[in-house]
Structures are given as structure tokens and as C-alpha cells.
């Protein structure tokens, strides 16, 4: 296990940089991770992050399809908010493990 410091807080991450202990996450940490990814978080970003964290906490599988059915945003907007690999980036910023559906 590796540790990284974000926003003055040391957190536990795996070899890919995903949190191994989601309870260590804060919005300040999210903003710092997002900045590293070239993203400035908006209310829309936080709505998706909150959705992902809630689904993770409930033990539900995370997928791009679930984002589309969330009623928060559509898939096209999700890709615009988290360009490149949206689900990977969003879950990393949300402080939760990378979904098994991501390679």
C-alpha cells in the first residue's frame, strides 16, 4: 500500500492511485486530485461524485450506463466533465476504488 498527501491529508492508495480507504476522502482532496487531472470541479461534477460515492457505499456496481440512468447527466455530458476515461477519473476523484468494469 502506498500513501499520498492531498490537501495536507495523507491517504492510503493502491498502485494506481485509487483510495483503499474511501472514508479518508474529503471535498478538498477531490479538488486537488481533479486539478492534477486538469479538471476544475463544478456543482455538476460534485453531483456525479456524490452519486458515485453513494452507489459505492451501497455496494452497487458502477458503470457508465448507471451514470446515464442516474437522471443527473447524460453520457455525453459525463464525457465532457471527465474527458478521456470518465469513469476512471470520476471514481479516482470521488475517492473510491476503480470499478471492475474499467480496464
Structure confidence by residue, pLDDT tens digits, 60-89 = 888 888 888 888 999 999 999 999 889 999
102 given a catalytic annotation: yes
pLDDT score of 66: 86
Q: Which three cell numbers stand for residue 58?
A: 451501497
Of 44, 71, 102, 103, the catalytic one is 102
* Higher-pLDDT residue of 84, 32: 32
What residues contact residue 12 under an 8 Å CB cut-off, 6+ apart? 1, 2, 3, 19, 20, 21, 24
Q: How far apart are CA 55 and CA 63, in angstroms?
A: 10
Instruction: Return the pLDDT at 64.
Output: 86
Contact 12, 3 (CB under 8 A): yes
36, burial (CB in 10 Å: exposed 0-12, middle 13-18, buried 19+): exposed
Amino acid at each position: 500500500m502506498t500513501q499520498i498527501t492531498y490537501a495536507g491529508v495523507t491517504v492510503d492508495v493502491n498502485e494506481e492511485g485509487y483510495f483503499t480507504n474511501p472514508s479518508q476522502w474529503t471535498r478538498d482532496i477531490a479538488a486537488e486530485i481533479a486539478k492534477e487531472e486538469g479538471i476544475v470541479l463544478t456543482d455538476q461534477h460534485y453531483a456525479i461524485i456524490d452519486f458515485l460515492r453513494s452507489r459505492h457505499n451501497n455496494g452497487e456496481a458502477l458503470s457508465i450506463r448507471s451514470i446515464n440512468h442516474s437522471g443527473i447527466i447524460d453520457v455525453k455530458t459525463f464525457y465532457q466533465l471527465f474527458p478521456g476515461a470518465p469513469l476512471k477519473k470520476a471514481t479516482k476523484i470521488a475517492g473510491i476504488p476503480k470499478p471492475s468494469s474499467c480496464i
